[in-house]
């Protein structure tokens, strides 16, 4: 098995338009064979998705999910390119699955780029303090912090989270499989998650927002 190097992952990304984690996973499955890894991605429906990612999405659906008992609910807007695709069972299933995932996983942002600077700065401060408390050398502290920020993104960003119904996929990868299958760009625009009692807690501690 060939070594899965960063350069090999980069080559596969450039050839397929797939994300870094998808490329690495495909290379592992293909035992480091670049051509075979591209086939793996095509079978998963991911390789062609990246090529559609820049196309405008002005149609779509507002999806809802109300958990049993009515104490937790989600609204999510998922966009596509045409009303035709928005009406398909595949797209509607995706919207429902994303809404259900949000209810279960409680993300704070859609994507990494949406994380605000103040939230990011606070998390860096927390992780830096942890690294120092663990006695790690100062010269590697920043590198360790950046590594832990990737884990933070997986916890708080919807598209980076493992999909609740299939943990081997992230929500972002799930969306890409639908892009490839339906032939249109698809994007998650926004969401809101309501839980009974949350507003009262927020009113009691506004400084925590």
CATH of the domain at 29: 1.10.8.10
pLDDT for 25-47, tens place per residue?
888 988 888 888 888 887 777 65
Separation of CA 54 from chain center: 17
Burial pattern 79-96, b for ≥16 Cβ within 10 A else e, equals: bbbbeebbebeebeebbb
Joined together, the tokens standing for residue 40 give 């793996």
pLDDT for 145-163, tens place per residue?
888 888 999 999 999 999 9
Do 82 and 166 share a structural domain? yes
Instruction: Work out whether the CA dihedral 123, 125, 128, 133 comes out positive or negative.
Output: negative
pLDDT for 165-188, tens place per residue?
998 889 999 998 898 888 889 999
Among residues 84, 18, 2, which one has the least CA distance to residue 50? 18
Q: Report residue 49's pLDDT band, with 50, 70 and 90 as the boundaries.
A: low
For residues 182-209, give the mean pLDDT: 74
pTM, entire model: 0.69
For residues 109-122, give the mean pLDDT: 92
Beta-sheet pairing, 72-80 with 187-195 = antiparallel
Q: Which domain holds residue 140?
A: 116-154
Do 179 and 102 share a structural domain? yes
Q: Report residue 17's pLDDT band, with 50, 70 and 90 as the boundaries.
A: low
For residues 86-101, give the mean pLDDT: 96
Question: What CATH number corresponds to the domain at position 132?
Answer: 1.10.286
- Output the pLDDT for position 203: 55
For residues 91-97, give the mean pLDDT: 97
Q: How many structural domains does the chain have?
A: 3
Q: 56-65, 84-93, 196-205 — which one is most confidently predicted on average?
A: 84-93
- Domain membership of residue 1 (yes or no) is no
Helices marked H in 30-116 — which ranges?
A: 34-44, 83-86, 89-105
- Domain membership of residue 197 (yes or no) is yes
Structure letter (DSSP) for residue 157 = B
Q: In the predicted model, is pLDDT for residue 20 greater than 80? A: no
Question: What CATH number corresponds to the domain at position 184?
Answer: 3.30.479.20
For residues 112-139, give the mean pLDDT: 87
Q: Distance (Å, rounded) from C-alpha 47 to C-alpha 172?
A: 13
- Output the pLDDT for position 2: 66
């Amino acid at each position: 098995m060939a070594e899965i190097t960063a350069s090999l992952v980069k080559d596969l990304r450039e050839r397929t338009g797939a994300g870094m984690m998808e490329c690495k996973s495909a290379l592992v499955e293909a035992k480091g064979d670049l051509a075979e890894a591209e086939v793996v991605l095509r079978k998963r429906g991911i390789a062609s998705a990246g090529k559609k990612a820049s196309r405008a999405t002005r149609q779509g659906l507002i999806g809802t999910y109300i958990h049993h008992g009515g104490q937790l609910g989600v609204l999510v807007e998922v966009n596509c390119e045409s009303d035709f695709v928005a009406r398909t069972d595949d797209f509607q299933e995706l919207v429902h699955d994303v809404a259900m995932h949000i209810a279960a996983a409680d993300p704070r942002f859609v994507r990494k780029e949406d994380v605000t600077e103040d939230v990011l700065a606070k998390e860096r401060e927390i992780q830096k303090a942890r690294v120092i408390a663990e006695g790690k050398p100062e010269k590697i502290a920043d590198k360790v912090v950046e590594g832990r920020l990737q884990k933070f993104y997986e916890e708080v960003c919807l598209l980076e989270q493992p999909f609740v119904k299939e943990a081997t996929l992230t929500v972002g990868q799930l969306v890409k499989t639908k892009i490839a299958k339906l032939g249109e760009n698809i994007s998650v625009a926004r969401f809101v998650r309501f839980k009974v009692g949350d507003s009262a807690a927020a009113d009691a501690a506004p400084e925590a927002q």
